[in-house]
């Protein structure tokens, strides 16, 4: 998807992918990551997700990547925090205590920018990618967060019935992308809910990706 596609979606308020509540899979399955207070969690394509607030409330340090400046600014406005803003090699970094959001192209973010992290939480990134882009996304995420456990949330539905995003990502695709480096454990599967349920029926699923060498 071209950057202008996402920028227009945020500008026009076409954000059915945004949940106004904490994702139920995150609340249920966060313990599988076995993180202590102060752990650093990376949230790719984070939007203005309230999952960020929840992770901060658990004592985590959170970093996120997001294309839309409008979405990033909405997070800090909701938290009633004024961030420090710096331009870093084509990206804009919004920072406050415990929170760093990198605004710009996800593929421009480098591991040196992100720094050491402890886990990845992907609710809205893989499902936002066209099938042709998924391999590139997974490869870049691996370069950013090599060897880190991941809590992944996906959708499975009849793609012919709805034009994404979010796109359906069946189990076979998840395994093709990640099974060479991760032990993949299905966690739970529930009927699609919220505003997305007005567009399609299917399953919202969660997965624990544990590095194969652990």
Q: What is the mean pLDDT of residues 57-82?
A: 96
pLDDT of residue 199: 84
Using DSSP's 3-state secondary structure scheme, residue 207 falls into: strand
Helix (H) or strand (E) holding 43: strand 40-43
- Read off the pTM: 0.92
Q: Which DSSP category does 33 fall into?
A: G
The reported pLDDT for the residue numbered 9 is 56
pLDDT higher at 5 or 87: 87
- pLDDT at residue 50 tops 90: yes
Neighbours of 171 (CB within 10 A): 14
pLDDT of residue 147: 87
Is it the case that residue 18 has pLDDT exceeding 80? Answer: no
Work out the average pLDDT over 124-153. 95
Alpha helix (H) ranges present in 12-144?
24-29, 51-57, 69-79, 111-114, 131-144
Q: What is the pLDDT of residue 187?
A: 98
At 214, the pLDDT band (50, 70, 90 cuts) reads confident
Residue 5 confidence (pLDDT):
59
Contacts of 199 (CB under 8 A, 6+ apart): 16, 162
Q: Does the structure show a pLDDT above 90 at 26? A: yes
% of the chain with per-residue pLDDT over 70 = 91
Answer whether residue 15 shows pLDDT above 70: no
Residue 4: the pLDDT is 63
**pLDDT at residue 195, as a whole number:** 80
Model pLDDT for residues 167-200, shown as the tens digit of each residue: 999 999 999 999 999 999 999 999 998 888 888 8
- At 11 the pLDDT is 56
- What pLDDT is attached to residue 210? 97
Q: How confident is the model over 73-115, as pLDDT tens digits? A: 999 999 999 999 999 989 999 999 999 999 999 999 999 999 9
Spatial separation of the C-alpha atoms in residues 193 and 92, rounded to whole Å:
33
Token pair of 116 as six digits? 């050491």
Give the β-pairing of 91-96 and 99-103.
antiparallel
Instruction: For the chain, give the mean pLDDT.
Output: 91
Q: Which residue from 92, 83, 41, 47 is spatially nearest to 62, judged by alpha carbons? A: 41
Task: Kindly state the tokens that stand for 206.
Answer: 């969660």
Chain center to CA of 97: 20
Whole-angstrom CA distances from 177 to 53, 103, 174, 184 are 29, 26, 5, 11
């Amino acid at each position: 998807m071209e950057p202008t596609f996402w920028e227009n979606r945020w500008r026009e308020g076409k954000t059915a992918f945004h949940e106004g509540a904490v994702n139920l899979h995150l609340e249920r399955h966060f313990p599988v990551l076995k993180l202590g207070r102060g752990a650093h969690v990376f949230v790719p394509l984070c939007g203005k997700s309230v999952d960020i607030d929840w992770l901060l409330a658990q004592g985590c340090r959170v970093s996120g990547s997001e294309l839309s400046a409008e979405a990033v600014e909405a997070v800090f406005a909701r938290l009633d925090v004024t961030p420090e803003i710096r331009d870093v090699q084509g990206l804009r970094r919004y920072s406050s205590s415990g929170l760093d959001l990198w605004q710009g192209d996800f593929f421009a973010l480098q591991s040196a920018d992100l720094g050491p992290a402890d886990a990845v939480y992907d609710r809205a990134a893989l499902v936002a990618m066209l099938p042709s882009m998924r391999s590139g996304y997974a490869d870049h995420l691996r370069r950013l967060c090599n060897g880190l456990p991941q809590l992944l949330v996906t959708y499975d539905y009849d793609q012919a019935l709805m034009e994404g995003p979010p796109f359906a990502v069946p189990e076979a695709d998840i395994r093709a992308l990640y099974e060479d480096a991760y032990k993949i454990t299905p966690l739970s599967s529930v009927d699609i809910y919220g505003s997305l349920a007005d567009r399609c029926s299917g399953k919202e699923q969660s997965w624990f990706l544990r590095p194969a060498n652990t």
